[in-house]
Structure 1
Amino acid sequence: MRTLALDIGNTAVKYGCFDGDVLLETAVVAGVDQVSEVLERLRPRHVIVSSVAEATAGWVAQWQQQVSGRVLEFGPATTPLPIRNAYATPHTLGADRLAAAVGAAWLWPTRSTLIIDAGTAIKCDWVEDGHTFRGGSIAPGLRLRFEALHTFTGRLPLVAMPTDPAAPLPLTGTDTQAAIRSGVLNGAVAEVNGFIEAYRAQHPGLQVVLAGGDAGFFQPRLKGRIFVIPELVLIGLHRILVHNVEN
């Protein structure tokens, strides 16, 4: 069974095409209006759509005309899941956070997992024993931190991310741009490492998985054994779709 998972985020539209549980292709398109071309080329039987940005009801109706099976619009508070959602306010829960939790639970069905999703926001989410999403934390992502310093101060410049995410990062900045870069990037690394240490202290044997667009920056800087799975949200969306199609 060929499926397509669509993850419409704040800055990009990502898709993953699956044959069974094998991820055949993943890419980013410029906008939602290009999804029809992807459907025409890949011809999936079923599609799942997740959005943390714009509403998708109109698009779903259009895409249904191109799909022989089901186009499922994923709602964290309404869509049946293969795991338990223990979040107190599911109607406010980001679809990407819950999809990542489902992906982690499928990959490690008996392990507690801490998901570090580093993108527009940095989200640290806990999946208990491979079957229950408990929640976590949300903080500004790296680019938001740079933009906030520039926007809400009078003279601080807007500093860009390093072109090489794995380049050494000096602790002491010897000019203003370097000082901002040290504060934002070293501070974010210390923050995430602190969350990992705190969760591991409470849950020995915790599995940690890293995803998101800035995973490449965090990977060499986080402590302990870390799995890096950039497609975690897409994997979770695929498993949610399969659960709904088969049940």
Structure 2
Amino acid sequence: MTTLVLDIGNTAAKYGCFRGSALAESGSVATPAELRAVAEQAKAEHVLLASVAGPAEPWANALGGVVSGKVVVYESGKTPVPIANAYATPHTLGADRLAAAAGAAYLLPGRPVVVIDAGTCIKCDLVLNNIFVGGSIAPGLRMRLQAMHHYTGRLPELLLPSTSEAAALALCGTDTRTAMLSGALNGAVAEVNGFVSSYRQQHPNLAVVLAGGDAAFFESRLKGHIFVLTELVLLGLHRILVHNVG
């Protein structure tokens, strides 16, 4: 079975094409027409669309006459999922957070898991006994830098540093730029390590799964053993799709 999932996020719309249970291809699309072309080329039998950045219906409408099976538009709190959801407000839970949790539960059955999704926002979510419990949402790396410029009169607008500069970033900044970078980047690392440490104290057998566009930045900076899977959300969306189409 060939299936297609689309994660419409705040920064990009990422797709994953699955052959059976394996991710065969992934990429991004900018318009519903581009998604239609991907679905046609892949000969997708079923498609799931999930959005945290606006309505998914225009994307679904573009697939008319192309998909032979179901086009599932994910609705928070309504679409059936393969894990239980203990969130107090399930209708407000982003599809990306629940999908990442579903993917982690599939990969590490029976283990307590913290999922760190480092993207536009940094989410640290806890999954216990196949149940999404909840977690935290904080500004991502770019958002931290943008906020300091936006909400002050004199702090400059900074871009994320290159990989080599980030690797050499000192704890103690020696000018305004490096002080801002240290606060945003080193601060985010300390925050995530703090969450993971606290969760490990509560759950000694804890597994930590890292995903998202900024996963590479965090990979070498987090303490203890971690699993890195940048396409975790796509994998989880695929598990949700399979759960809905059988």
TM-score band (shorter)? over 0.9
Kindly state the Cα deviation for residue 61 of structure 1 after the two structures are TM-superposed. 2.6
TM-score by length of 1: 0.97
User: Match for 1:56: what amino acid?
Assistant: A
Q: Hey, what does 2:200 align to over in structure 1?
A: 200
Kindly state the Cα deviation for residue 31 of structure 1 after the two structures are TM-superposed. 3.5
Kindly state the Cα deviation for residue 42 of structure 1 after the two structures are TM-superposed. 1.1
Q: Hey, what does 2:92 align to over in structure 1?
A: 92
Q: Hey, what does 1:154 align to over in structure 2?
A: 153
| Structure 2 residues not aligned, in runs of 5+ | none
Kindly state the Cα deviation for residue 62 of structure 1 after the two structures are TM-superposed. 2.7
User: Match for 1:108: what amino acid?
Assistant: L
RMSD: 1.1
Kindly state the Cα deviation for residue 11 of structure 1 after the two structures are TM-superposed. 0.7
Q: Hey, what does 1:54 align to over in structure 2?
A: 54
Matches within 5 A, 1:86-125: 86-125=86-125
TM-score by length of 2: 0.97
Q: Hey, what does 1:210 align to over in structure 2?
A: 210
Secondary structure of residue in 2 paired with 1:198: helix
User: Match for 2:140: what amino acid?
Assistant: G
CA distance in 2, matches of 1:64, 1:180: 48
CA distance in 1, matches of 2:59, 2:6: 12
CA contact (8 A) 1:64 1:70 kept: no
CA distance in 1, matches of 2:170, 2:59: 46
Secondary structure of residue in 2 paired with 1:98: helix
CA distance in 2, matches of 1:213, 1:31: 20
Identity %: 60
CA contact (8 A) 1:215 1:228 kept: yes
Secondary structure of residue in 1 paired with 2:91: helix
| Structure 1 residues not aligned, in runs of 5+ | none
Q: Hey, what does 2:8 align to over in structure 1?
A: 8
| Residue 38 (1) aligns with residue 38 (2) | yes
| 1:104-160 deviations in Å (ceiling 9; x for gaps) | 11101111100000000000000102x100010000001000000000000000111
CA contact (8 A) 2:32 2:58 kept: no
Kindly state the Cα deviation for residue 172 of structure 1 after the two structures are TM-superposed. 1.1
User: Match for 1:158: what amino acid?
Assistant: E
Kindly state the Cα deviation for residue 226 of structure 1 after the two structures are TM-superposed. 0.6
Kindly state the Cα deviation for residue 81 of structure 1 after the two structures are TM-superposed. 1.2
CA pair 29-58 structure 1, distance change in 2 beyond 3 A: closer
Deviating runs (4+, > 2 A) in structure 1? 29-33
CA distance in 2, matches of 1:169, 1:32: 40
